């Protein structure tokens, strides 16, 4: 039964992985990657690690890939055209690496499997349970756990500061339907030194108050013509 | 041979559970239309069968017989995949809920009214729910229409935001009960405090319950959080371009999701199948469970009849700046109380 499930989900994971690399539409690649993650989670379940399986689905399939799909949807990425291979020397390298991988796999299949190492102590089946993982994380492996948390926090703060650096509107500026508040640097990026804000009902009025009205007017007239 | 019998029995159990749930869901739709009619001072559907009781079957027949329209510029594979993901992820959590205690039936013997019991049942529910986002997001993208895309993006953002407070609101219950197995959580809620108050988790976890209720409504895209399908601005949101049976799948998925979050609320906060007389007549447990679930379903319909819709920025501000901090505060409070309680031995 376990072998059957392993073949099923292992095959699914492999198929999805190949499809992920081969697809030219980025969204199809993303969907294939979700398939890989879910198949891997099922494999973890057959290996008596239910917690890892659940977390795999929640974190990878449910959170990270949603963001990836979100970005692909927002950017509306087109199918990439097939381009001629530029780095041709990679082809023999890839073949060599694949040969090493196949050799390794066959070594495990034909040598290691025939001499299974008998475990000295009976296998502990509680290892994958949530309570075991929890007490392990918060007692024996507390330091690595906390360091990882700090690393993640740094990543979040870093992403926030990077995203907020190139902002166009000042933090005080608010966009309210019907009236617009435009800081100087939006209308004229070259005069950033003068950061006085102007409050009017329309963009044109704001530009006029700042001495750029004629430019906008002229464009409007051209549009009308 | 043993395993094959087990697998067949499990499959039968799953089929029965799915059929029952889908029937209940079909009648929830009818109940919603009748109750909404009552709230709005009109009759609602009452022509098909007595009191309109055959209406769900008439609707289903209509959905099957309607013309299939596939948008010309849509991404066909994803377009067909999206409703399937929606309905499959809506139905999958059904297997872990304990519908009742184990009951003794004549001829069959002792059967347990939960299909699968495993260590991470709660995490399994959360995981499947988080995969459910793809159904809506991909539907919005694959339709190749601006209304669908806006609806899909909105709902993806909304689901990701409220999933966090939903998950965090459940951690309080996990801390109190010390397990992720739904059956054990229900079993722990039997008995009474001071002989009158049932030992339901809602009493020590009031904040968690309120947060769960609000985020569950947002997770199922219901009023007042139904922005993904705000008909006044987005036509019908992510399912604008879907017709016939594919639309019916989305529709069904929404109501199945309503049903599952109601079941989760019942199981975790309202004591599941616990109630007076369950220990002597276990079959009563099933009725208690269903009554509690129907209370939540009625609450959903009631809210839909009475509340207006949020604006999108209000929705996001509420989720991130109010619900999430309060949920974290709730975890902190519960953990402190449980920790002090275990030290002094009164937990």
CA A69, distance to chain mean position in Å, is 9
Q: Does B228 touch chain A (CB under 8 A)?
A: no
Per-residue pLDDT of A23-73, as tens digits, reads 888 888 888 999 999 999 989 888 878 888 888 888 888 888 888 888 887
| pLDDT for A219 beyond 70 | no
Q: How far apart are CA B269 and CA B185, in angstroms?
A: 9
The predicted pLDDT at position A39 comes to: 92
Per-residue pLDDT of B92-133, as tens digits, reads 888 888 887 877 777 666 777 777 777 788 888 888 888 888
| Mean pLDDT value of segment B30-46 | 86
The predicted pLDDT at position A144 comes to: 92
A205-214, B20-29, B75-84: which range is least confident on average? Answer: A205-214
Q: Which residue has the higher pLDDT, B288 or B279?
A: B288
| Mean pLDDT value of segment A202-216 | 62
| Mean pLDDT value of segment A183-190 | 53
Q: Across the interface, which of B124, B126, B133 has its CB nearest the CB of A66?
A: B133
| pLDDT for A82 beyond 50 | yes
| pLDDT for B269 beyond 80 | yes
| pLDDT for A214 beyond 60 | no
Percent of chain B past pLDDT 70, that is, above it, reads 96
Q: CA neighbours within 13 Å on the CB side: how many for A195?
A: 7
Q: How far apart are CA B17 and CA B129, in angstroms?
A: 19
> Searching chain A, which residue's CA lies closest to the CA of residue B160?
A63
CB B74 within 8 A of CB B143: yes
- Spatial CA neighbour of B182 closest among B254, B94, B275: B94
Q: Across the interface, which of B129, B141, B180 has its CB nearest the CB of A27?
A: B141
Confidence of residue A14 (pLDDT cuts 50, 70, 90): very high
**H or E element in which residue B289 lies:** helix B284-306
The residues pairing with A179 across neighbouring beta strands, listed in sequence order, are A176
Q: Does B3 touch chain A (CB under 8 A)?
A: yes
Q: Which residue has the higher pLDDT, A90 or A179?
A: A90
Q: CA neighbours within 13 Å on the CB side: how many for B113?
A: 18
Full 3-state SS string of A124-159: CCCCCCHHHHHHHHHHHCHHHHHHHHHHHHHHHHHH
- Spatial CA neighbour of B132 closest among A5, A11, A40, A38: A38
Phi and psi, residue B110, nearest 5°: -80, 120
List chain B residues with CB under 8 Å of A54.
Answer: 120, 123-124, 126-127
Residue position matching structure tokens 């360091």: A147
The predicted pLDDT at position A195 comes to: 54
List chain A residues with CB under 8 Å of B120.
Answer: 50-51, 53-54, 130
Per-residue pLDDT of B220-235, as tens digits, reads 888 788 776 666 666 7
CA angle A191, A197, A199 (to 5 degrees): 135
Interface contact B156-A27, CB threshold 8 A: no
CA angle B199, B204, B210 (to 5 degrees): 115
Helix axes B244-269, B121-131, angle to 10 degrees: 150
Q: Compute the residue count for chain B.
A: 347
Return contacts of B318-325, CB within 8 angstroms, 24+ apart: B319/B158, B319/B161, B319/B162, B319/B164, B319/B165, B319/B215, B319/B218, B320/B161, B323/B162, B323/B165, B323/B211, B323/B214, B323/B215, B324/B164, B324/B165, B324/B168
Cα distances (angstroms) measured from residue A106 to each of A43, B23, B29: 21, 53, 57
CB A213 within 8 A of CB A203: no
CB B186 within 8 A of CB B201: no
CA angle B117, B119, B121 (to 5 degrees): 65
The predicted pLDDT at position A167 comes to: 53
The predicted pLDDT at position A178 comes to: 44
The predicted pLDDT at position A190 comes to: 56
The predicted pLDDT at position A165 comes to: 62
* Smallest Cα distance from B173 to chain A, Å: 15
Q: How far apart are CA B187 and CA B201, in angstroms?
A: 11
Confidence of residue A176 (pLDDT cuts 50, 70, 90): very low
A71-85, B68-82, B151-165, B190-204: which range is least confident on average? Answer: A71-85
pTM of structure: 0.78
The predicted pLDDT at position A153 comes to: 93
Cα distances (angstroms) measured from residue A82 to each of A18, A22, A23, A28: 17, 11, 11, 16
Average pLDDT, chain A: 75
- Spatial CA neighbour of A177 closest among B309, B312, B150, B237: B312
| pLDDT for B29 beyond 60 | yes
* Smallest Cα distance from A27 to chain B, Å: 9
Confidence of residue A97 (pLDDT cuts 50, 70, 90): very high
Residue position matching structure tokens 């399937």: B84
Interface of A with B (CB under 8 A): 1, 25, 27-28, 31, 34, 38, 41, 50-51, 53-55, 57-58, 61-63, 66, 69-70, 73-74, 129-130
| Mean pLDDT value of segment A141-158 | 92
CB B148 within 8 A of CB B237: yes
Residues 6+ apart with CB under 8 A from A49: A127, A128
The predicted pLDDT at position B81 comes to: 87
Confidence of residue A177 (pLDDT cuts 50, 70, 90): very low
E-assigned strand segments in chain A: 175-176, 179-183, 197-200
- Spatial CA neighbour of A182 closest among A212, A160, A156, A162: A212
Enter the tokens of residue B83: 């409703």
Average pLDDT, chain B: 83
The predicted pLDDT at position A150 comes to: 94
| pLDDT for A2 beyond 50 | yes
Per-residue pLDDT of A117-138, as tens digits, reads 555 555 566 666 778 888 888 8
| Mean pLDDT value of segment B146-159 | 81
Q: Which residue has the higher pLDDT, A101 or B145?
A: A101
Enter the tokens of residue A175: 């966009």
The predicted pLDDT at position A149 comes to: 93
The predicted pLDDT at position A101 comes to: 92
Helices (H), B40-145: 55-65, 76-91, 121-131, 133-142
Residue position matching structure tokens 């016939």: B244
Q: Is B157 exposed, middle or buried (0-12, 13-18, 19+ CB in 10 A)?
A: buried
ipTM associated with this complex: 0.81
CB A130 within 8 A of CB A138: no
Interface contact A73-B77, CB threshold 8 A: no
Per-residue pLDDT of B165-216, as tens digits, reads 888 888 888 888 888 888 888 888 877 777 777 878 888 888 889 999 999 8
| pLDDT for A99 beyond 90 | yes
Q: Rg of chain A over CA atoms, in angstroms?
A: 29
The predicted pLDDT at position A114 comes to: 61
The predicted pLDDT at position A146 comes to: 93
């Amino acid at each position: 039964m376990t072998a059957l499930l392993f073949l099923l989900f292992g095959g699914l994971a492999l198929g999805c992985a190949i499809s992920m690399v081969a697809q030219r539409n980025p969204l199809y690649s993303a969907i294939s990657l979700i398939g890989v993650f879910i198949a891997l989670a099922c494999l973890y379940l057959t290996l008596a690690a239910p917690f890892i399986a659940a977390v795999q689905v929640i974190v990878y399939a449910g959170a990270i890939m949603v963001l990836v799909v979100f970005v692909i949807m927002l950017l509306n990425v087109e199918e990439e055209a097939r381009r001629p291979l530029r780095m041709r020397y990679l082809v023999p390298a890839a073949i060599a690496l694949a040969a090493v991988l196949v050799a390794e796999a066959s070594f495990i299949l034909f040598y290691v499997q025939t001499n299974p190492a008998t475990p000295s102590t009976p296998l502990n089946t509680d290892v994958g349970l949530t309570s075991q993982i929890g007490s392990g994380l918060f007692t024996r492996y507390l330091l690595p756990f906390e360091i990882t948390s700090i690393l993640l926090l740094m990543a979040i703060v870093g992403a926030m500061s990077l995203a907020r650096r190139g902002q166009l509107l000042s933090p005080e500026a608010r966009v309210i339907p019907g009236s617009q508040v435009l800081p100087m640097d939006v209308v004229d990026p070259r005069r950033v030194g003068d950061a006085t804000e102007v409050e009017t009902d329309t963009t044109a009025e704001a530009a006029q108050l700042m001495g750029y009205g004629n430019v906008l007017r002229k464009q409007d007239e051209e549009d009308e013509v | 041979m043993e395993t094959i019998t087990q697998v067949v029995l499990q499959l039968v159990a799953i089929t029965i559970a799915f059929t029952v749930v889908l029937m209940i869901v079909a009648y929830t739709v009818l109940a919603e239309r009748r109750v909404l009619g009552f709230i709005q001072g009109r009759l609602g559907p009452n022509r098909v069968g007595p009191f309109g009781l055959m209406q769900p079957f008439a609707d289903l027949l209509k959905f099957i017989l309607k013309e299939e329209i596939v948008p010309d510029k849509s991404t066909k594979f994803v377009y067909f995949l999206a409703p399937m993901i929606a309905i499959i992820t809506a139905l999958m959590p059904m297997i872990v809920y304990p519908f009742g205690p184990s009951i003794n039936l004549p001829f069959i013997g002792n059967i347990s009214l939960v299909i699968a019991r495993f260590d991470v049942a709660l995490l399994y529910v959360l995981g499947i729910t988080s995969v459910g986002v793809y159904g809506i997001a991909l539907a919005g993208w694959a339709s190749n229409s601006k209304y669908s895309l806006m609806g899909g993006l909105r709902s993806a953002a909304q689901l990701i935001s409220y999933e966090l407070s939903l998950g965090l609101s459940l951690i309080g219950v996990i801390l109190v009960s010390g397990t992720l197995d739904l059956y054990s959580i229900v079993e722990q809620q039997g008995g009474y405090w001071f002989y009158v108050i049932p030992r339901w988790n809602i009493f020590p976890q009031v904040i968690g319950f309120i947060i769960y209720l609000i985020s569950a409504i947002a997770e199922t895209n219901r009023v007042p959080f139904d922005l993904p399908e705000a008909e006044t601005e987005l036509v019908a949101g992510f399912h604008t371009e879907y017709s016939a049976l594919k639309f019916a799948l989305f529709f069904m998925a929404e109501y199945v999701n309503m049903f599952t979050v109601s079941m989760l609320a019942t199981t975790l906060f309202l004591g599941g199948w616990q109630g007076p007389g369950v220990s002597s007549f276990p079959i009563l447990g099933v009725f208690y469970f269903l009554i509690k679930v129907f209370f939540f379903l009625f609450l959903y319909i009631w809210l839909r009849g009475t509340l207006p819709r949020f604006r999108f920025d209000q929705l996001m501000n509420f989720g991130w700046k109010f619900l999430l901090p309060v949920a974290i505060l709730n975890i902190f409070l519960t953990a402190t109380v449980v920790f002090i309680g275990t030290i002094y031995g009164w937990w």
